[in-house]
Amino acid sequence: MRDSLPVGLEQLLGAAPRLGPLARLGLRTVGDLLFHFPRSYEDLTDLRPIAALTSGALQTVQGEVVEMDTRYLNDGGFVVSVVLNDGGPRSLEGAWFNQAHVTRRFRYGQRLSFSGKARWQRDHWQMVGPRVQILDPGVDVSTPGIVPVYPLTEDLRPDHLRPLIGRAIDLHAPSLPEVLPEELRQRHGWPGVLEALRAVHFPSSLEAAERGRRRFVYEELLLCQLALALRRRETRDRRSAPVLAVTEQIDARIRRLFPFPLTGDQDRAIADVCRDLASGRPMQRLVQADVGAGKTAVAAYALLVAVACKHQAALMAPTEVLARQHAATLEGYLANSRVRRLLLTGALTPRERRAALDALKAGEIDLVVGTQSLVQEGVEFARLGLVVIDEQHKFGVQQRARVRRLGADPHYLVMTATPIPRTVALTVFGDLDVSLIRELPPGRQPVATRWLSEAERDRAHALLREGLEQKKQAYVVCPLIEEAEGLDVKSATRTYEELRSGPFRGFRVGLLHGRQDDATKADAMARFRAHEIDLLVCTSVVEVGIDVPNATLLLIERAERFGLSQLHQLRGRVSRGAAPGLCLLFAQPAGDEGRERLRALLRSTDGFALAEEDARLRGVGELFGSRQHGAGELLVGARDAGLLDVARRDAFALVDGDPELRREEHAGLREAVWRRYGETLELSEVG
C-alpha cells in the first residue's frame, strides 16, 4: 500500500518545505504519510463548561488565556501554568512540569481548548499536561471529536501534521488501487481504501477508526499469508524430492544408537518426519520444542534415515561451538558405524577445506555438520537428501531461500531454539508444517529460579560454591564482553577476573565469549565439558544449545538486558541433568515491562507459555515477522492476532482455488504480493 504512492512530499508542503521533521519519522513519500497511522486516539467528545468539570474522566474545555506564569519548586524544577476562563465562575489551570517552551506557544487572550483529566486544587481546577488545541478566533468547535495521537518527533506538532495528511488524502488517496477483491471486502465488511484512510486519520467515531485500521492490518496479513501459501506450493507441492523410506530394520538400527528410549513427543515428531521423507515431496517442517526436550535426537534420527537411504545429509548449527557439540554427539552415537562424517568449521586450513569440499562433491561424505558456512558459495553435494537447521529463532523464510539453492530440492527440517509465539510460527515459519515437542525426558528436575537483590550477592556466591564442592558445575552469564564506557554493565572479562581471584579462588574458573577466536572458544568449551573447569564465566554465547548435564548452577548478571525467550534458553542450560537446577538472577529493570518479564520467568518454566507471554509484553508488529520478510513495519498489534487466522485461512483458500492468482479479480492482490514478497521469497515469476 505504502509503496504504491512513491510521490515525494515536497509537492504537499508548498512554499516552505519542512521535510526535516518528517524525514526523522521516516516519512518521505505521500504513501509514507498516508500510512503513518495514529498510535492511539483520544476521545475528546466530552466538551463541558469549566463549572461542570468532574474529577477523573477525560474532558475538554474551551476558554481564553487569562493568566500565564512560571513557579519554581524546591527541588530546582519549575511549573509552567496557563489559566483558562470560559466566562463562568471557575478557572482551569493547565500545568506543565519543567517545560519552558510551553509559554512560548501561547499568549494572553488566545482561545484554547484543554483536554485531560481534571482535579480540584483548593480553589480551581487543574489539568497536568493537557492536550491543547489552538482555536481560531471567533470559531467554537462544538464537538472537538476523536483526535488521533501520532508518533511524533519533538519538532513536529500535531497541528502541522494533520492538515498535511488531510491534503494527502484529498489529493492522492483516490488514486490508490483497491487490492482486496470485492468478495472478501463484502464478506468481512471492510471499507474501501479511501473510506478506510479517512476513518483512520479523521474518524467520526472510535469504532470507525478501528474498522479502518483493521482493514489495512487484514490486507497486510493477507498479502503475507498469500506469499507464504504461494511459496509453499512452489517449494513443496510442485517439486519432487528423493523418497527416503524408513524400513523396520533401519528404524531399529537407528534407535539402538541412542542411549535412551525416545519420549512420546520425540516419537510423534519422528513419525511426522518419516512421513514427509517418504512422500516424494520436499519436507518443509519445523520442530518446535521446549528447551531440553531433546531435538538433537530427532535431528539425528532424520539425518541417519537419509544416510541409510544412500543420500547425503547436512546439519547446520548457528555457532561453531554448537556445531562441534553436535559433531561430538553424533560421533558418540556412530562410533562403530561406517557413516562417513565431516565437521566443516572455520578452523580448517584452506587445504583441508578444499579437500573436504572435494569429498562432499564426490559423494565421499555421508554426513556433514557445520555452521552457516555450509551455505557458502563453493559448497556442492553429490546427492544431498536432507538439511537440518538446528536451534534457530531467526532463520526466517529469506534465509531458507538461500539454503534452498544448495542443490536440487533436498528435504528441510528446521528446529527452533525455543518455542515461538503462535504469531511468529504463522508468519516467519508460516510456509512450514509444524511438529511440537512439549514433553521433557523422564527424570528431569525442575530449575528453581530466584531473583536476588544486590545485598544477597555473597549468599549467591556461597550457594554456587556449595554446588561446586559437590562436583557440580556452574555458568555465570554477563551481558557484555568488556566494560562499555558509561554503561555500568558487568562485563564477562572483569567478572572473570573478580571471581577467580575473589570468591572462587581455589576453583577452576574459565572464560568464554563471542570475541574469542574459534580455537580458544572450542578449548574452553571442551574443558568445561570434560569438567576441567568448574565455573564458566561467559556471555550469551552459551545461550543456545549447549548441553553439559553436570552443569546445574546458573547465575545471570543484569538479567533485564536479555529477552524472555533468551532467559528461558539460558536457564535451559541447567535443566539437562537428573539433579535439580538453580538459576539466580541479578537485575535492575528500569520499567514495568522489564519487571513483568522477570516475574514471568520466576512463575513459569513452560517455554510455550513464556513465548506467548513475551509476545503479549512486546505486543507489536515486529513479532509478525515483517522484518524477516523485509516488508517494512506492519501496522499490526497484539490485539490483531485473531485477524491473522482469518487472513491465513482466506489466503490458503484463495491459492487453493486460483493457484497462481490469475483470475482477473485477483490481479491487484497478485501485483501487490509480487511487489512486496516476490524477491525475498523467491516466488517464481510466472506470467
Q: Please give the residues from 278 up to 297 whose contact with Mg ion meets the rule CB under 5 A.
A: 295
- Can you say whether the dihedral through the CA atoms of 423, 424, 428, 429 is positive or negative? negative
Total Cβ atoms within 10 A of residue 71: 10
Q: Among 113, 235, 266, 540, which residue interacts with ligand ADP (rule: CB under 6 A)?
A: 266
Question: How many residues appear in the chain?
Answer: 687
Give CB contacts under 8 A, 24+ apart, made by 455-461.
457/586, 458/503, 460/555, 460/584, 460/586, 461/503, 461/504
- Which of the 8 DSSP states describes residue 73? -
Sole window of 136-144, 196-204, 288-296, 470-478 interacting with ligand ADP (rule: CB under 6 A): 288-296
Sole window of 104-112, 284-292, 493-501, 527-535 interacting with ligand ADP (rule: CB under 6 A): 284-292
CA-to-CA distance for 219 and 338, rounded, in angstroms? 54
Q: Please give the residues from 531 up to 550 whose contact with ligand ADP meets the rule CB under 6 A.
A: 545, 547, 549
Q: Give 356 or 536: the residue with its C-beta nearer to Mg ion.
A: 536
Please identify which residue in the block is written with the cell numbers 515486529: 622
Longest Cα–Cα distance of the chain, Å, equals 96
Q: Among 22, 293, 387, 551, which residue interacts with ligand ADP (rule: CB under 6 A)?
A: 293
User: How far, CA to CA in Å, does 131 sit from each of 69, 137, 354, 477?
Assistant: 18, 19, 68, 46
Please state the closest distance from residue 556 (CB atom) to Mg ion, in A: 20
User: How far, CA to CA in Å, does 253 sit from each of 30, 334, 508, 666?
Assistant: 64, 11, 41, 52
Please state the closest distance from residue 449 (CB atom) to Mg ion, in A: 21
Q: How many residues bind ligand ADP (CB under 6 A)?
A: 18
Q: Where are the beta strands (DSSP E) in 336-410?
A: 341-344, 367-370, 384-392
Please state the closest distance from residue 330 (CB atom) to Mg ion, in A: 13
CB 222 within 8 A of CB 643: no
Q: Among 148, 292, 396, 467, which residue interacts with ligand ADP (rule: CB under 6 A)?
A: 292
Q: Under the criterion CB under 5 A, does residue 545 sit at the interface with Mg ion?
A: yes
Q: Under the criterion CB under 6 A, does residue 441 sit at the interface with ligand ADP?
A: yes
Q: Under the criterion CB under 6 A, does residue 304 sit at the interface with ligand ADP?
A: no
Q: Under the criterion CB under 6 A, does residue 297 sit at the interface with ligand ADP?
A: yes
Q: Give 295 or 648: the residue with its C-beta nearer to Mg ion.
A: 295
Q: How far is CA 485 from the centre of its chain?
A: 28
Please state the closest distance from residue 466 (CB atom) to ligand ADP, in A: 24
φ, ψ of residue 243 to 5 degrees: the values are -80, 110
Q: Give 138 or 259: the residue with its C-beta nearer to ligand ADP.
A: 259
Sole window of 106-114, 285-293, 400-408, 586-594 interacting with ligand ADP (rule: CB under 6 A): 285-293
Please state the closest distance from residue 332 (CB atom) to ligand ADP, in A: 9
Helices and strands, counts by H and E, the chain? 24, 21
CB 558 within 8 A of CB 478: yes
Q: How many CA atoms lie within 13 A of 459 on its CB side?
A: 10
Please state the closest distance from residue 548 (CB atom) to Mg ion, in A: 12
Please state the closest distance from residue 569 (CB atom) to Mg ion, in A: 10
CA-to-CA distance for 561 and 374, rounded, in angstroms? 32
Q: Give 38 or 292: the residue with its C-beta nearer to ligand ADP.
A: 292
- AA letter at 10: E
Q: Among 38, 294, 467, 625, which residue interacts with ligand ADP (rule: CB under 6 A)?
A: 294
- AA letter at 314: A
Q: Which does 147 bind (CB under 5 to 8 A by kind): ligand ADP, Mg ion, none?
A: none
Q: Under the criterion CB under 5 A, does residue 421 sit at the interface with Mg ion?
A: no
Give CB contacts under 8 A, 24+ apart, made by 458-466.
458/503, 460/555, 460/584, 460/586, 461/503, 461/504, 463/553, 463/582, 463/584, 464/504, 464/535, 464/553, 464/555, 464/584, 465/503, 465/504, 465/507
- Can you say whether the dihedral through the CA atoms of 25, 26, 29, 30 is positive or negative? negative
Sole window of 450-458, 466-474, 488-496, 543-551 interacting with Mg ion (rule: CB under 5 A): 543-551
Q: Among 235, 263, 565, 566, which residue interacts with ligand ADP (rule: CB under 6 A)?
A: 263
- Binding mask of the shown chain, residues 49 to 68, with x at each position contacting Mg ion by CB under 5 A: --------------------
Q: Under the criterion CB under 6 A, does residue 576 sit at the interface with ligand ADP?
A: yes
Q: Give 570 or 601: the residue with its C-beta nearer to ligand ADP.
A: 570
CA-to-CA distance for 174 and 194, rounded, in angstroms? 6
Sole window of 105-113, 138-146, 226-234, 262-270 interacting with ligand ADP (rule: CB under 6 A): 262-270
Q: Under the criterion CB under 6 A, does residue 295 sit at the interface with ligand ADP?
A: yes
Q: Among 62, 115, 126, 296, which residue interacts with ligand ADP (rule: CB under 6 A)?
A: 296
Please state the closest distance from residue 477 (CB atom) to ligand ADP, in A: 17
Q: Under the criterion CB under 5 A, does residue 419 sit at the interface with Mg ion?
A: no
Q: Give 266 or 495: the residue with its C-beta nearer to ligand ADP.
A: 266
Beta strand 111-121 with 78-85: parallel, antiparallel or unpaired?
unpaired
CB 491 within 8 A of CB 480: yes
Q: Under the criterion CB under 6 A, does residue 551 sit at the interface with ligand ADP?
A: no
CA-to-CA distance for 141 and 410, rounded, in angstroms? 67
Please state the closest distance from residue 563 (CB atom) to ligand ADP, in A: 17
Q: Under the criterion CB under 6 A, does residue 575 sit at the interface with ligand ADP?
A: no
Q: Give 365 or 546: the residue with its C-beta nearer to Mg ion.
A: 546
Q: Give 261 or 280: the residue with its C-beta nearer to ligand ADP.
A: 261
- Which of the 8 DSSP states describes residue 496? H
Q: Under the criterion CB under 6 A, does residue 260 sit at the interface with ligand ADP?
A: yes
Q: Among 184, 196, 221, 289, which residue interacts with ligand ADP (rule: CB under 6 A)?
A: 289
Please state the closest distance from residue 167 (CB atom) to Mg ion, in A: 55
The closest of 675, 682, 665 to 184, measured between CA atoms, is 665
The closest of 230, 235, 223, 229 to 675, measured between CA atoms, is 223
Please state the closest distance from residue 331 (CB atom) to ligand ADP, in A: 14
Total Cβ atoms within 10 A of residue 649: 11
Q: Give 97 or 260: the residue with its C-beta nearer to ligand ADP.
A: 260
Closest residue to Mg ion using C-beta atoms = 545
Distance linking the first and last C-alpha atoms of the chain:
22
Q: Which does 385 bind (CB under 5 to 8 A by kind): ligand ADP, Mg ion, none?
A: none
Instruction: For residue 106, give every residue at least 6 positions away whose Cβ sits within 8 Å of its Cβ, in sequence order, or none.
Output: 65, 68, 82, 112, 132, 134
Query: Which residues lie near Mg ion (CB under 5 A)?
Result: 295, 545
Query: Which residues lie near ligand ADP (CB under 6 A)?
Result: 260, 262-263, 266, 289, 291-297, 441, 545, 547, 549, 572, 576
